[in-house]
Amino acid sequence: VSIYALLDRDRITAAVKRVMRLFVPDERCRQITDYVLKTNNIFSTYIYCQLLDAAIVAVAATIVLSVLQVRYAIVLGFLIGFCNLIPYFGAIIGVVMTILLTLFTGGFFKCLWTGISLLVLQQIDANFIGPKIMGNMLKLRPLWIIFAVTVGGGLFGVLGMLLSVPVLVVLKMIIGDYLKTVENRRSIQQEEE
């Protein structure tokens, strides 16, 4: 279904606009179209940020595992990066799989150092790198990103973790536009008086 929707995106968009024009005034129609485009850009940027963060984690994990001389460091590093696309649980799954493989192939102490190193790497990513990337690209403070993921996860589980940041950015955009509209109306009213 997604593939067909992407292939027919232009036709679907034109049909939705045509129907919308029947029921919605032109100015409101333009406003809705503008919000849909901005929201699409926000979600695209969010996905790009997630992929960039996963790539950074993959490279960093590969370097850490190589320094520790863990077998299959490159494969495991990229597995950790791929799993990092799933908020919180993915990072845990990737690290646990790596630790278990290291336990069987490298012994207890190598497994221990691998676990500690990957835990530190994941904490740095979750609290600094990921929020910094998202903050810069989505123009949102890292603290708000951590807050959004925490609240979204608490209220809606994994889906809330995945969607909380772009939803927060969309809400910020809508509230910002509303405040500008109210301020413009007030300044016009003051000029008329």
How high is the pLDDT of residue 61? 97
| Domain membership flag for residue 49 | yes
Residue 157 lies in a domain: no
Task: Kindly give the residue spans of alpha helices, DSSP state H, lying in the chain.
Answer: 2-7, 9-23, 26-67, 73-83, 89-106, 108-124, 130-138, 142-192
C-alpha pair distances (Å), 65 with each of 16, 111, 119: 51, 11, 12
Token pair for residue 193?
A: 């008086």
Domain-embedded: residue 32 = yes
pLDDT of the residue at 117: 96
Residue by residue, pLDDT tens for the chain (193 residues) are 556 666 777 787 788 888 888 888 888 888 888 888 888 888 888 889 999 999 999 999 999 999 999 999 999 999 999 999 887 788 899 999 999 999 999 889 999 999 999 999 999 998 899 889 988 999 888 888 889 989 998 999 888 988 899 999 999 999 999 999 899 888 888 887 7
Phi, psi for residue 70 in degrees, rounded to 5: -80, 135
107-132: burial string, b at 16+ Cβ within 10 Å, e else: eeebbebbbebbeebbeebbeebbbe
The verdict on residue 131 lying in a domain is: yes
Residue 133 in tokens? 């990337």
Q: From the CB of residue 156, how many other CB atoms can be counted at a distance below 10 Å?
A: 14
Domain count, the chain: 1
For residue 69, the enclosing domain spans 2-140
- In this prediction, residue 6 carries a pLDDT of 61
Does residue 112 lie in a domain region? Answer: yes
Instruction: State the pLDDT at residue 5.
Output: 62
Cα angle value 149/171/14 (rounded, 5°) = 115
* Backbone phi, psi, residue 88, to 5°: 60, -65
pTM over 0.75: yes
Answer whether residue 13 is part of any domain: yes
Assess if residue 58 is contained within a domain: yes
DSSP string, 152-175: HHHHHHHHHHHHHHHHHHHHHHHH
Q: 28, 125, 27: which is closest to 83 by C-alpha?
A: 125
Q: What is the spatial distance between Cα 83 and Cα 40, in angstroms, rounded to a whole number?
A: 25
- The per-residue pLDDT for range 57-77, each reduced to its tens digit, is 999 999 999 999 999 999 999
Q: What is the pLDDT of residue 1?
A: 53
Domain-located, residue 193: no
